[in-house]
Structure 1
Amino acid sequence: MSPRRILEIIGAVELVTLVLMLGNVATVHQPTVSGVLGPIHGLAYMGTVIGAVLVMEGRHRVWLLALIPGIGGLLSARAASPRRTSSAGGA
């Protein structure tokens, strides 16, 4: 599994836990749900930042995007993808 794919998965976990926590606060506000999802979200957030630092390959934009809560992991995974160059034209 590529490091970019791992970063995508951790970013998705971060986003899902954030949405679930905000949904809990906006509706029923169960302390148990917050107590479980809070640490999972925190670990996922730290995982995205650390993972982005490991895969940045000299591009500081990758780990800077990871600092954005919620969607930062997914944005940094996208920024970490190899650059594609298209050769429009020919010889």
Structure 2
Amino acid sequence: MSPRRILEIIGAVELVTLVLMLGNLVTVHQPEVSQVLGPVHGLAYTATVLAAVLVMDGRHRVWLLALLPGIGGLLSARAASSRRTPSAGGA
């Protein structure tokens, strides 16, 4: 599995746990849900930042995007996959 794919998966887990925590907060606010999802989200956030640092390949934008809570992991995975190539129509 490629490092970019791992970053995408961790980023998706981070986003899902954040959405579930906020959904719990807005609706029923069960403390048990918060007790489980809080640490899982924190671990996913930390893993996202660490994975982005390992994947960055000299591009600081990749790990800086990972610092954004929620969607940062997915954005950094996208930034990690983009390569700096000249435009096809440029002269």
- Could you state the TM-score of these two structures normalised by the residue count of structure 2? 0.92
**Given the alignment of the two structures, is residue 44 of structure 1 paired with residue 67 of structure 2, yes or no?**
no
Residue 63 (structure 1) shift: 0.2
State the Cα distance separating 1:88 from its structure 2 match. 4.1
Q: Map of 1:7-86 to 2, 5 A cutoff?
A: 7-83=7-83, 85=85
What is the count of residue pairs matched by the alignment?
89
The gaps in structure 2 that reach 5 residues or longer are: none
> Which residue identity is paired with 2:37?
L
SS in structure 2 opposite 1:80? helix
Q: Give the Cα separation in 1 of the matches to 2:82 and 2:26.
A: 39
- Deviation, structure 1 residue 83: 1.0
Q: What do you get for the CA RMSD once the two structures are aligned? A: 1.3
> How far 1:30 sits from its partner (Å)?
0.3
Runs of 4+ off more than 6 Å? none
Superposed displacement of residue 87, structure 1:
3.8
AA partner of residue 69 (structure 1): P
- Percent identical pairs in the alignment equals 84
SS of the residue 1:58 aligns to: coil
